[in-house]
Amino acid sequence: MTSATPTVSTDEPLELRTRHRLTAPMRDGWTIGKRNLRHFTRLPRLLVFSTIQPVMFVLLFGYVFDGAVSGSLPPGFPNYLAFVLPGIFIQSTIFRMTQTAVGLAEDLERGVVDRFRSLPMSRAGVLIGRTFADLVRSMAVILLMVAIGLLVGFRFGNGPLEAVGSVLVVGVFGYALSWAFVSIALLVPGAESTQSAAFVLAFPLSFVSSVFVPTESVSIGWLAFIARNSPTTAAADAARGLAVSGPVAEPVVQMFLWSIVFLVVFIPISVNRFRRLD
């Protein structure tokens, strides 16, 4: 190149990082993740979805439903808020992950993903960045909900380690689940259909579970069976046991097993599908 090419050429030679096959997905994921986190602060829709809605949920369940349900609570829970808040951590995380699907589907429609796919970057990087950013946002929202909960009378029943553990349980489960929603975005064409499909998954997943009521109170046999054995119940019981009261070891193990199953099933499906997007 000569001095007659001032726009295209570079003043000084550009230095390139060395790149390793194994770390490239994480590096590229970090770059894309930063981009997605910036989006959260710049899209009003996402800010509302991530802050106002969870606050409303805490207040709604803490006050409105308290009287109706508190009679059928298991021992160890002074009020419905104590029972339901850890459940709402899980439930709201599931619904927040529908935004993972919608956000990715919108990127696909906009052509930004095409540019990413034409770059010499890791294929998995775009998806890792998306799930990573959604995990960060999810954790921030859970902390916000904890703060609101503490303001309206929620108290952790165990030590600080268990309290931190309950929040981590939500993070692990939410992250694993976000890959299921990534798969949906890649399998269902169009952002609007993706949103519908994501809600079809999110509703039964969050409500047929121990999130709002103990599974013993479900009267239909087969539904009770599903509720007892759903991944959401495992996650909600684990978070609840750590945060307030109830068994810990069994639901935590189940929650981890479910999370591993989600990751093992949906990461290959998603990455493979992303490679072959048409």
Residue numbers at the binding site for other proteins (CB under 8 A): 1-2, 4-12, 14-17, 19, 28, 31, 34-35, 38-39, 42-43, 110-112, 114-121, 125, 276-278
Q: Which is nearer to other proteins, 50 or 206 (CB)?
A: 50
Q: CA 241, CA 214: separation in Å to the nearest integer?
A: 13
Q: Smallest distance from the beta carbon of 135 to other proteins, in angstroms?
A: 20
Q: Smallest distance from the beta carbon of 23 to other proteins, in angstroms?
A: 12
Q: CA 191, CA 7: separation in Å to the nearest integer?
A: 38
**Using an 8 Å Cβ cutoff, are 157 and 243 in contact?**
yes
Q: Which is nearer to other proteins, 153 or 189 (CB)?
A: 189
Which residues have a Cβ under 8 Å from the Cβ of 173 and sit 6 or more positions away?
Answer: 90, 93, 231, 235, 238, 255, 258, 259
Q: Smallest distance from the beta carbon of 42 to other proteins, in angstroms?
A: 5
Q: Which is nearer to other proteins, 7 or 219 (CB)?
A: 7
Pick the closest to residue 244 from 110, 92, 75 (CA basis): 75
Q: Smallest distance from the beta carbon of 191 to other proteins, in angstroms?
A: 15
Pick the closest to residue 104 from 28, 158, 183 (CA basis): 183
Q: Smallest distance from the beta carbon of 18 to other proteins, in angstroms?
A: 8
Look up residue 152 and give its amino acid: V
Q: Which is nearer to other proteins, 170 or 186 (CB)?
A: 186
Q: Which is nearer to other proteins, 121 or 146 (CB)?
A: 121
Angle at 192 between CA 202 and CA 205, to 5 degrees: 5
